[in-house]
Amino acid sequence: MVAYLNILLYGVGGIVFTGMALLVAFQERLVYVPVVPGLTKSYPITPARLRLTYEDVWLRSSDGVRLHAWFIKLFPDCRDIAHRLEMVRIMLQKLQCNVFMLSYRGYGASDGSPSQHGITKDAQAALDHLCQRNDIDTSRIVVFGRSLGGAVGALLTRNNPDKVAGIILENTFTSILDMAGVLLPFLKWVIGGSGAKGVKILNFVVRSPWNTIDVIGEVQRPILFLSGLQDEMVPPSHMQMLYAKAAAHNKECIFVDFPSGMHMDTWLAGGDHYWATIQQFLEKYAPRNDEPDSSSVTSHDSEGR
């Protein structure tokens, strides 16, 4: 009996050790996905090819990394578009706003390699750039973040309450620490966020924890939570926990779920209801003035755009 118990303990220990080794070695590849599977980094579709009026923007983060972004201008006749930019086309039409899309370091044409510390600087550089523009109403900047972009956006908004009118989070996780247990279930006993059970003795190996659950309670701006209940990557319970944490400290929080929404297509599955929800949020917290194209949505998502 003792021998069998020893074998079992050694086996469990080996699994945990192997899981920890994989996490240490490949965690950046799990968290950051600079290239869409099946495409090259130099994927040729750009706003110009898709008949969108846009500006190529080149930025420098505070640590000197060269970053690329698109500033897509609202204009009367934006029609054909493809791939991921289809959402931008509809956003321009439905919301009547400009869209600023940042490529984090290591993504798209931006230099460097992604990390939490670095991407935080990248997002700040993007916001600082928008605040310096004279062709938009800088009092109406709204941050939009999906998945990882929600974690980035929450941190950016917390750090800049005077520069952001509101934030929209879609299918965002509570933390990478909690997601480790989702991706590798046996790790949930040794890695987890602030609300997780277990001893969490291996949290130190996670280099990009993205503790959105701790940040969201400190956000002082209005927050709209958009949750796809069929999310196959991030458990919808994460969005519910983020909302509960935020609403305990912030009265200007709105939670809306979409029963058929998956991780990346909630905007499509939600249809008119999805866009009407965002429109109502913008009308309340970033109301338009006499300039029809003065508002800007700075967009972050899991692909760095």
CB-based contact 203:171 (threshold 8 Å) = no
Is the Cα torsion angle 34, 278, 297, 250 positive or negative in sign?
A: negative
Strands of the chain, DSSP E: 54-60, 66-72, 98-103, 141-146, 166-170, 223-228, 253-258, 296-300
Is the Cα torsion angle 150, 156, 158, 160 positive or negative in sign?
A: negative
Task: Determine how β-strand 296-300 pairs with β-strand 141-146.
Answer: parallel
H/E element holding 29? Answer: helix 2-31
pLDDT at position 225 is 99
CATH, domain range 32-175+210-300 = 3.40.50.1820
pLDDT at position 181 is 84
pLDDT at position 7 is 46
pLDDT digits (tens, 9 = 90+) for 64-81: 999 999 999 875 443 333
pLDDT beneath 50: ranges in the chain: 2, 4-15, 76-83, 292, 303, 305
pLDDT at position 13 is 45
H/E element holding 3? Answer: helix 2-31
pLDDT at position 26 is 55
Alpha-carbon 288 to chain mean position = 25
pLDDT at position 131 is 97
Alpha-carbon 130 to chain mean position = 18
pTM for the model: 0.83
Backbone angles phi, psi at 70, to 5 degrees: -115, 130
pLDDT at position 12 is 42
pLDDT digits (tens, 9 = 90+) for 199-250: 777 788 788 899 999 999 999 999 999 999 999 999 999 999 999 999 999 9
Q: Which residue has the tokens 């990394």?
A: 65
Domain ranges of the chain: 32-175+210-300
Q: For residues 75 and 55, what is the distance between their CA atoms, to the nearest angstrom? A: 13
pLDDT at position 191 is 81
